[in-house]
Amino acid sequence: MKLYKKEGNILQVLSFPKENAEKGDYLLIEDPDANKALIAQVIDVQFASIPGVLEELLRTLPDGGEPIQGEDIDPLEIASHITYIQDASLLVCKTRATLESGSLSPCSSWLPSRSQSTIKKLPVPLLIKLAKIEGTRPIIVGGTKDSSLLTIDATAVDGTLNIVTGKKGCGKSHLSKLLVASLIGYKATVVIFDLNGEYTNVGMTKDGKRNMYYDKIHALTPSQNFKVSLDQLHLNVVMGILIHALHLPATSSREFRRLWKNLKEKGSLSLQEMGAAIRDLKCNQHVRDALSSRYHALVNSGFFTDNPAEAMLLDECLVKARDKGGALVINLRNTSTIDRQIVVEYVLGKLVDSLQSWKLKATFLFAEEAHLYLRETYWDDIVTRMRHFGIFTTFITNQPDTIRESIYRQADNIFLFNFTNEHDLDVVSRAARVDAETVRSIARDLPPQHCLTLGKVVRDFPIVARVRSLDMKTMGETRLFFKNINYRFPVSPYSAGRNA
């Protein structure tokens, strides 16, 4: 390999066929005189612009379009040299860091010698070692192209905002489960908004047996094993549900607040009492109607109960998860949009309460397709206010444009799977910790189950890895009509027609 050009932080390296460099590979460009080396990542592989190649290709095609047949008597065997030159490639690389005296610095302002520099591939294990990516609490993400493991440090996910994105069916949920399992393995508290009920069986192996996480997975299905009584609720949480999920106007909200306080003072905070209070409320008819419709929405959600035996204490689950590490899976499958928002408002409100009162130290929140249940104002809340309380969110989506730009700009880590759509890639490339060229070029060619890891967890050295398999019931697979159906037409419909 030979250094050809440098423009800004883009390097062009000439590579010959046997050198086999591919997109995502790292190169070490060592300048012996400067006694330092540049670390660059291949973001695109192009044909080198060799003069005369067009003529070479054209002359094999006569007017008919078929290649001309013939024999080449080439006693000096020059042909192999011709193909060697013809197949030379140009590696477009992004400089990532400078290696000097064994330590890395992000600076790449110097220019290595074009004639003296030696270029070789930098194996991922060596890069991981140099960049100190592994850390003390390793999470094995998967295998890299050179058969080594990509191991990230769990502490690099701590206090961060993460995004897992890619097109449908490429393994996003699988990676999320891997992260969840690894985090609870380190006794972390994890809360998952599980839109499709995929995480409820993380504690089971593929063949239905209990795995090591079984006791740490607490699957909560609203209106089934997850109900709350009004007296468990803090007024702020209820007001959040009414205003944001049920869109209660300001005047009615003031009236409800008064009504709630009265019931609480009387010690009769129940659905039944509240229904009666609203009925008997002496106020504007519109206000009463507004309160009455919201009350019925709460009742019909089935999430609230007056039966103390049915009521479930979320705090207890959180404390359990805090002590031993565990995941609260909020199963939002089969839940209507409004009910979903009510549940999410409740859980988030409760989490903030627990964190504010230091009942919880911090929690990792995994939110699948968050745009389907997260209210507008929460997006900014999550990246600013809630992060300071200790809610560290991971968004998982196959529609990257549903996540706000401000989230991308503040994301610390991005786990990017394949995208072919330019628009999707444009959205993701707005993230502050990645460069647009890397995202566009590498993500477009990622095979399924391969993830480009970007950000803090890889110390800003984007690394591609095939996500390792997990022995757990994933249930993320799409239900298919034709799967396991052996029925076939007895005869071809066309041949039947002919016979008739």
Partner 1 sequence: MLVIEQYTITTTPKYNFPQPTIDTTLPQRFLEQSLHSLKQVQRHPFQLNQQNIQQFDITEQPSSNLNLKRQPISLKPNHQETQIAAVDTSTIKIGETSTGIIIALRGATTWKQNQRYRYTRLGPFIFHITEDNKNEVYNALEKSYFNTLYTSNRHATPHLMQMPTRLAGLLERWLQIMLAKTVENGLILFDGSLTSGTIDTPVQCIKDILTLARRNRSTVLAFSKMTSLRVNGYLITDKLPKHEPPYLLETTGVRFKPPTVVLGGVYVAKLNRSNYAFRLDIDREIPLQHRKAAVERLLGNDLYMQGYPETLRLSHILCTFTANEVLAIKHFLTRKHGIQLVNRPDMHKLLFGPFGKGELS
Site of interaction with partner 1 (CB under 8 A): 50-53, 55-56, 59, 62-63, 68-76, 78, 81-82, 84-86
Contact 188, 364 (CB under 8 A): yes
For 211-230, give the DSSP string: -TTGGGEEEE-BTTTB-B-G
Nearer CB in complex with partner 1: 68/485: 68
* Minimum CB–partner distance for residue 63 and partner 1 (Å): 6
Rounded CA separation 438/425 (Å):
10
CB 227 within 8 A of CB 305: yes
In this structure, the dihedral spanned by the alpha carbons of residues 40, 44, 49 and 53, taken in order and rounded to 10 degrees, is 140
Nearer to partner 1, 85 or 271 (CB): 85
Question: Judged by CB, which is closer to partner 1: 50, or 338?
Answer: 50
Nearer to partner 1 by C-beta: 78 or 496?
Answer: 78
Give me the residue label for tokens 């509240």.
Answer: 274
Distances (CA, A) of 83 to 14, 16, 87, 90: 15, 10, 6, 15
Burial class (CB in 10 A: 0-12, 13-18, 19+), 283: middle
Residue closer to partner 1 (CB basis): 55 or 280: 55
Q: Which is nearer to partner 1, 66 or 280 (CB)?
A: 66
DSSP per-residue letters across 336-372: -HHHHHHHHHHHHHHHHHHHHTTSSS-EEEEEETGGG
Q: How far is the CB of 113 from partner 1 (least distance, A)?
A: 17
Q: Which is nearer to partner 1, 115 or 136 (CB)?
A: 115
| Closer of 82 and 297 to partner 1 (Cβ) | 82
CB of 79 vs partner 1, minimal distance in Å = 8
Pick between residue 63 and residue 280 the one whose CB is nearest to partner 1: 63
CB of 442 to partner 1, least distance (A): 30
CB of 67 to partner 1, least distance (A): 10
Residues 244-277 as b or e (16 or more Cβ within 10 Å = b):
bbbebeeebbebbeebbeebeeeeebbbebbeeb
| Side-by-side strand order, sheet with 217-220 | 149-153, 138-143, 463-467, 450-455, 413-416, 162-165, 391-397, 363-368, 189-194, 326-331, 217-220
C-beta neighbour count of 90 within 10 angstroms: 18
Q: Which residues pair with 32 in a beta bridge?
A: none
State the nearest-atom distance from the C-beta of 49 to partner 1, in Å: 11
How near is the Cβ of 374 to partner 1 at its closest, in Å? Answer: 58
Contact between 184 and 190 under an 8 Å Cβ cutoff? The reply is yes
Cβ at position 65, least distance to partner 1 in Å: 12
CB of 18 to partner 1, least distance (A): 13
DSSP state of 474: -
Residue with Cβ nearer partner 1 (86 or 113):
86
Sequence-ordered alpha helix ranges (H) in 302-447: 314-324, 337-356, 376-383, 385-389, 405-410, 422-428, 436-444
Q: Nearer to partner 1 by C-beta: 59 or 168? A: 59
Nearer to partner 1, 33 or 72 (CB): 72
Which region, left, alpha or beta, applies to residue 358 given φ > 0 means left and ψ of -120 to 50 means alpha? left
What whole-number distance in Å separates Cα of residue 246 and Cα of residue 408? 28
Nearest to 43 by CA among 83, 99, 90, 103: 90
Report the relative pairing of strands 189-194 and 217-220 from DSSP bridges: unpaired
Q: How far is the CB of 119 from partner 1 (least distance, A)?
A: 18
| Tally of residues, the chain | 500
CB of 10 to partner 1, least distance (A): 25
Provide, rounded to whole angstroms, the least separation between the CB of residue 19 and partner 1: 15
What is the Cα–Cα distance from 204 to 219, expressed in whole angstroms?
12
